[in-house]
Amino acid sequence: MFDNLQDRLNKVFTQLTSRGRLSEADVDVALREVRVALLEADVNFKLVKEFVGRIRERTVGIELSRTITPGQQVIKIVHDELLTLLGEPAKLDLGGGSPHIIMMVGLQGSGKTTTAAKLALHLRKSKYSPLLVAADTRRPAAIEQLVVLGKELDIPVHREDASVPPPRICANAINIAKANAYNVVILDTAGRLQIDEALMEELSQIKALTGPKEVLLVADAMTGQEAVKVAQGFHNQVQLTGLILTKIDGDARGGAALSIRSITSVPIKFLGTGERPRDLEVFHPDRLASRILGMGDVLSLIEKAEEVIDEEVAERGAKRLMDGNFNLEDFLEQLQQIKKLGPLGRVLDMIPGMGEIAKQIPQQDLEKNLKRTQAMINSMTKQERRNPRLLNGNRKRRIAQGSGTEVPEINQLLNQFREMQKMMKQLKNPRMRQNLMKMFGG
């Protein structure tokens, strides 16, 4: 979502890196580009003006540091100001008595029902016992969607006849939660194509009857500045406690994420990063600022890896790799683990320095290459995977035919695999390991 903004800002910073001291003229030229980049990203005009003003005040006359260039110092200043714009991190308030009530609100089509299920899954992983409540009686499809999602995730869903008023459905659900030891109740309330009095009155009644600790607005990042207006409208009526931005994996320009916190003073608590049930991230302002500036997001990558990767498989592969016993069967097993992290382009974007490389290779090409590699290894026998030296010309032709590839691609895969094995043998050298530890501060 932030690719264009990231590219524009990186060009600005590159122009500053060779200067020993920043004059007012240098700053003015750079900030003009920053201003254009933010406006093109659909950031609120007033915020852009204030943001650029603060940066200018801090950058004029920056002296060359012994350790970092003026360009790097400017990046730090912009990073700090982005953090100010995005606000402090905010967690869900699940204090007080049980059950904890979370009320989900939003316009129709924002992804509210799907997000309610994602949030329930997220909380269950944190050892909570959630109950989903289908309170959108005006849209039968929303009720069925929540029931299907609940069944898929093995999370209970409370539903009632459409003739029962939504406030009563929500109140009944809380009684059921108390009776069955569910300690979190997530209310999936009705949405509209636009904010109207009937919707707000219904939401006000639900809030008064259930007393939720959290009122979370699900806002579609693809709607840009309209998401900010929607947030303001809901906040004025039902006093929001948090925001969940969905569809940030799309081609939205990102301005809503940068504007919505400052304008509404309501913290962003989660980001919807995809369509899968686990594609919900806790919002970390510092990590988002780092992504925008092309600095990666290693912490989020590690957290995602810890969540989806089989630790035993990863450790087994790492041990075999360091022992020099790593074969193509192990390689295939590790590739299958990597796929669990999500689209390769997004994974590379989280690694410092890899974002630019990822942009040069279309996402579909990254995925295609991974699938072709898997197809080639899957077309080998178990003996061939464990001992690639068995692969003669006839065997390679058979593998190429079975995987829909060409023999040169098989040779390329084997060459890359042999290079990796050589590198791992070098790492077995104690002196090499000692030098690497020094390089990384160990």
Query: Assign residue 368 a region: left if phi > 0, alpha if psi is -120 to 50, beta otherwise?
Result: alpha
Same-domain status, 316 and 423: yes
Collect all residues with Cβ–Cβ distance below 8 Å to 397 and sequence separation of at least 6. Answer: 407
| Residue ranges with strand state E in 191-319 | 214-220, 242-246, 268-272, 280-282
Query: Where is the domain boundary, 86, 111, 143?
Result: 86
Per-residue pLDDT tens over the stretch 9-49: 777 776 666 666 666 777 788 788 888 888 877 788 888 88
Same-domain status, 287 and 380: no
In degrees and rounded to multiples of 5, residue 280 shows phi and psi of -135, 120
Collect all residues with Cβ–Cβ distance below 8 Å to 31 and sequence separation of at least 6. Answer: 52, 55, 56, 59
Per-residue pLDDT tens over the stretch 383-410: 998 888 899 999 999 999 999 999 999 9
Same-domain status, 37 and 105: no
Domain region containing 363: 303-439
Instruction: Determine the straight-line distance between the first and last CA of the chain, rounded to whole angstroms.
Output: 36
Same-domain status, 218 and 347: no
Same-domain status, 369 and 430: yes
Same-domain status, 240 and 375: no
User: Domain containing 58 — which CATH number?
Assistant: 1.20.120.140
Query: Where is the domain boundary, 293, 312, 333?
Result: 293
Same-domain status, 177 and 37: no
Per-residue pLDDT tens over the stretch 187-198: 999 987 777 888
How large is the average pLDDT for residues 322-339?
Answer: 74
Distance CA 218, CA 426 (A): 51
Residue 442 is predicted with a pLDDT of 44
Same-domain status, 313 and 279: no
Q: How many domains does the chain have?
A: 3
Same-domain status, 271 and 170: yes
Residue 310 is predicted with a pLDDT of 66
Query: Where is the domain boundary, 54, 86, 118?
Result: 86
Tokens of 24: 């007012």
This prediction's pTM: 0.66
Stretch among 176-185, 323-332, 433-442 having the lowest mean pLDDT? 433-442
Kindly state the helix (H) or strand (E) to which residue 130 belongs, with its residue range. Answer: strand 130-134
Neighbours of 21 (CB within 10 A): 10
Distance CA 12, CA 39 (A): 15
Kindly state the helix (H) or strand (E) to which residue 185 belongs, with its residue range. Answer: strand 184-188
Beta partners for 63? 21
Q: Assess whether pLDDT exceeds 60 at residue 278.
A: yes
User: Domain containing 380 — which CATH number?
Assistant: 1.10.260.30
Tokens of 102: 């979370």
Q: Assess whether pLDDT exceeds 80 at residue 344.
A: no
User: Domain containing 254 — which CATH number?
Assistant: 3.40.50.300
Residue 95 in any domain: the answer is no
Local structure of residue 366 (DSSP, 8 states): H
